[in-house]
Amino acid sequence: METLNIQTSRLIIRHLKLSDLINFHRYRSNPEVTKYQGFDVMTIGQAEAFIKDNSVKRFGKPGEWVQYAIENIETGKLIGDCAIKLEQYDTRIAEAGITISHLEQNKGFAKEALLGIMSFLFDAKEIHRIVEIVDVENTASINLLKSTGFRQEGHFIENIFFKGKWGSEFQYAMLKREWDDRRGNL
């Protein structure tokens, strides 16, 4: 298991630290940001406990989600976070998720972070497949996945009881060979 440090042109994806708390809580306490997420709004105490818990986790433990900070290189400030999980029974398959602060959306940061994660997983870790699960109503995330080359594989109807109601989800995925082909055509 290892310490994660992914760098793109504008971002660093690194472990969360307590100094991220104020910025982390600012967007994690916003109901619009958490609307389609597997978590709900957080109190400052919950946010602090979450950061402490994730700061000691390391990439590579099968079946465990690890949350990482997305830092803007120019400002040195946390602008979001992302999570990566290796499949419990086959660590050649990964899943990832991204949350960008409401103050930093529509600037291309989610796409840049996702492409950085994909490069790390496919190129550095030789992952075979990345899977993404997204709420069917989450248009922004669906557009992000399509723009980065993911293809839709499944549509699950009312498969999850989520925040007080039944929700439906899409499954998207990309294989390493599709990633390699896509990059070769850029």
Q: Is the pLDDT of residue 1 over 70?
A: no
* Prediction pTM value: 0.91
Identify the weakest region by mean pLDDT among 17-31, 45-59, 125-139, 172-186: 172-186
Identify the pLDDT of residue 55. Answer: 86
CB 23 within 8 A of CB 48: no
Query: Residue 18: pLDDT band by 50, 70, 90 thresholds?
Result: very high
Identify the pLDDT of residue 186. Answer: 53
CB 13 within 8 A of CB 70: yes
Tokens 């400030």 -> residue: 77
CB 130 within 8 A of CB 95: yes
Query: Kindly report the CA angle at 176 between 174 and 177, in degrees rounded to 5?
Result: 100
Encoded tokens for 132: 């993404």
Share of the chain above pLDDT 70, in %: 97
What would the pLDDT profile of 97-128 be if each residue is shown by its tens digit? 999 999 999 999 999 999 999 999 999 999 99
Q: Is the pLDDT of residue 56 over 70?
A: yes
| Mean predicted confidence (pLDDT) in 78-99 | 95
Identify the pLDDT of residue 40. Answer: 76
| CA-wise closest residue to 127 among 66, 174, 181 | 174
Identify the pLDDT of residue 185. Answer: 60
| CA-wise closest residue to 79 among 89, 90, 69 | 69
Phi, psi of 23 (to 5 degrees): -65, -40
Identify the pLDDT of residue 34. Answer: 75
Phi, psi of 28 (to 5 degrees): -75, -10
CATH number for 5-131 (one of 3.60.15.10, 3.30.70.20, 3.40.630.30, 3.40.50.300): it is: 3.40.630.30
Query: Residue 20: pLDDT band by 50, 70, 90 thresholds?
Result: very high
Identify the pLDDT of residue 41. Answer: 83
The residues spanned by each domain of the chain are 5-131
